[in-house]
Amino acid sequence: MKSSAVLFFSFCCIMTGFGQSSIGIFEHSKDIGIPKMSGMSSYDIGTQTYSVKGAGYNIWFERDEFQYLYNTLEGDFILTANFGFEGKGVDGHRKIGWMVRGSDDEKAAHISATLHGDGLTVLQWRELRGAFMRDPQDELFSPKSNYTIIQLERKGQTFIMRAAHPGEPLQLIGKHTMDGMPQKALAGLFVCSHNPDVVEQGYAWNVRIDRKSLPIIMLTSKDVLEAGLKPWMWRPVNEQLFTKAKRDLKLPTGLGTVKN
């Protein structure tokens, strides 16, 4: 019973992975706005590095143009990664970093932990959809430049940026409350060339998305039999499997072991 259930669950995990068009841990990749030059994102499984290529006039004023590699996240989370650019680039204001966004609309509210091509590291935001971003009212600047480790945390409606150079602890850059940011928002990596006629390339590695974990519940063979759960009902996703004695049992991703 145990070996067959584990084997079948592993098979489901593999088949589910093949059926998805995800890029590493991210589910979506697209250009935001209508940049003149198309962008793209990829993942090197060998080096565990994300490559993001993007154009776009800017992420500023009332609308944005950039390449976005993202997930839809609900609730609190922490985003952490190392960042770098390819080559010297064309414009010192090219951008890479983490962005949390209300939607994929070009005018959406957003908050971004951003590394610029000239080393400027800053927390920037658009408070409401279609609002003009202002300098310096909608920015918090870091005391140093050329940070390579950037973290963006969501805690309720407050967003906290931290950054570090290699070998240093993360230090607080700033925090900002976004009352208009929906609980379910987009979150991911971005690149903008700050030049509509140029595509810039950036890299991210040691990429982590940390969230509050679900409780681990190990199901016994008796649980499965009493619930009438058949092998083909196992699905490697975070969702309710069945209700037993008015109690919801959840199986977090990767936990498919049935114990005798």
| Residue-number span of the structural domain to which 164 is assigned | 33-211
Residues 232, 104 within the same domain: no
Domain final residue, candidates 186, 211, 236? 211
Residues 162, 229 within the same domain: no
Residues 193, 77 within the same domain: yes
Residues 193, 229 within the same domain: no
Half-sphere exposure of 137 (CA within 13 A, CB side): 7
Residue 28 included in any domain: no
Residues 119, 234 within the same domain: no
Residues 141, 231 within the same domain: no
Q: Do residues 155 and 178 make contact, with C-beta atoms less than 8 angstroms apart?
A: no
- Give the CATH number of the domain where residue 144 resides: 2.60.120.200
Residues 207, 218 within the same domain: no
Phi and psi torsions of 185, nearest 5°: -135, 165
Q: What burial class does residue 45 get, using C-beta atoms within 10 Å of its C-beta: 0-12 exposed, 13-18 middle, 19+ buried?
A: exposed
Residues 85, 188 within the same domain: yes
Is pLDDT of 13 > 50?
Answer: no
On whether the pTM is more than 0.85, the answer is: no
Residues 252, 207 within the same domain: no
pLDDT digits (tens, 9 = 90+) for 227-252: 555 444 444 434 344 443 434 444 44
Which of 8-12, 82-86, 219-223 has the lowest average pLDDT?
8-12
Q: Do residues 186 and 103 make contact, with C-beta atoms less than 8 angstroms apart?
A: yes
Residue 23 included in any domain: no
Could you give the CA distance from residue 116 to residue 241 in angstroms, rounded to a whole number? 45
Q: How many domains does the chain have?
A: 2
Is pLDDT of 128 > 60?
Answer: yes
Residues 171, 45 within the same domain: yes
CB within 8 Å of 241: residues ≥ 6 apart:
219, 227, 229, 233, 234, 249, 250, 251
Neighbours of 220 (CB within 10 A): 11
Is pLDDT of 11 > 80?
Answer: no
Residues 48, 13 within the same domain: no
**CA-derived radius of gyration, the chain:** 21
pLDDT digits (tens, 9 = 90+) for 130-140: 999 999 999 99
Residues 205, 117 within the same domain: yes
pLDDT digits (tens, 9 = 90+) for 47-106: 999 999 999 999 999 999 999 999 999 999 999 999 999 999 999 999 999 999 999 999
